[in-house]
Amino acid sequence: MPLADIESIGRRDALYIAPHADDVSASCPARLADAVGRGQQTLIVTLFGPGPRDAGPHQSLALGWPEAPRRDARYAAISGVLFGEHEGEATIVRELAGQLDALARHTQARHVYAPLAAGGHVDHRVAHLAALAAFGNVSGRDVFFYEDRPYALVRGAVRVRLGQLGVRLPPGAGRVDPHLGLLSFLLRSQAAGHRRALTRGLGERIACLRGDARVWRETREWNPLRAFGLRLQPVLQPASTPPPAVGGSGTAALCGAGAASPELAADYARRLGAGGFAERYWLLLPAQEGVLAPQAAAALAS
């Protein structure tokens, strides 16, 4: 899929990568509001589906790739979206990586924000891998992974995702939720509002339970001080009150981030040791001895 004409896009300070039109709006409102206050110029690029109806003061570009259920029927159910991975995604990762690299070079953006892919949505995973392939071994540019909302607000979801990536954290790098017992993790995951809204029927509930149990088992031994994956540094973006959302779009139910309750957001901020409202970002640190991060190498080699 060719990159849309980008000649109308000027120099930007930051590039925000949104799997869907409402993901950056839901996940990064405080950082976006801070950028406006500092007079920074930002570009929000939506990878799948249409872009936001109104991006406010931020420039917006939609690449128009089909959302997961529209490119593979096996993503029609939520269990497939959250836990499936089918052939063809590696090709999309490579093409998206090329498009993102071209955008970053054209805009000369010094800061890139990409999804961590907490919660497992396949479009978010593809976006994460494409960003790693494009920027995982590039110097002179800061790459941040944002915690996808509402998925990341569920206690245990971020820890599981960091464990899946084999993230290595510097000593004293900040708070990461303690490892939950299996039953507690399953109950919290299944009770999340977005999961309840999208899960249809007993068969889907069982499939999601099995998927949750699998990722819990795969990550229960993760040790952030001894792992050999991405090297990340947490960065907190607090705000006294929740900033207004920027240009949500009401994307298809299986692909959009959806709404998160204020109670979950407040609990999340408390867990981070912040009052009011907070967002957490993960700054990508250089790989040791200049070696490409394993996930980036795998994305490029797929």
* Per-residue model confidence (pLDDT) at position 208: 94
What was the pLDDT predicted at 174?
Answer: 66
Q: Identify the structural domains of the chain with CATH numbers, from first to last.
A: 14-295 (3.40.50)
The pLDDT, as a whole number, for residue 247 is 45
pLDDT of 289 reads 52
DSSP string of the chain, one letter each residue: -PPPP-TT----SEEEEESSTTHHHHH-HHHHHHHHHTT--EEEEEEES---S--TTSEEEEEEEPPHHHH-GGGSSHHHHHH---TTHHHHHHHHHHHHHHHHHHHT-SEEEEE--TT--HHHHHHHHHHHHHHTT-SSSEEEEE--TTGGGSTTHHHHHHHHHT-B--TT----PPPPPHHHHHHHHHHSHHHHHH--HHHHHHHHHHHHHHHHHHHTT--TTT--S-BEEEEEEEESSPPPP-------TTTS-----HHHHHHHHHHTT-SSEEEEEEEEPPPGGGPPPHHHHHHHH-
Give me the tens of pLDDT residue by residue for the chain, a chain 302 residues long: 557 667 788 999 999 999 999 999 999 999 999 999 999 999 999 999 999 888 889 999 999 999 999 998 889 999 999 998 887 899 999 999 999 999 999 999 999 999 999 999 999 999 999 999 999 987 789 999 999 999 999 999 999 999 999 999 998 776 787 789 999 999 999 988 888 888 888 999 999 999 999 999 999 999 999 999 999 999 999 987 777 665 444 333 333 444 456 788 888 888 888 878 899 999 999 876 544 444 544 444 44
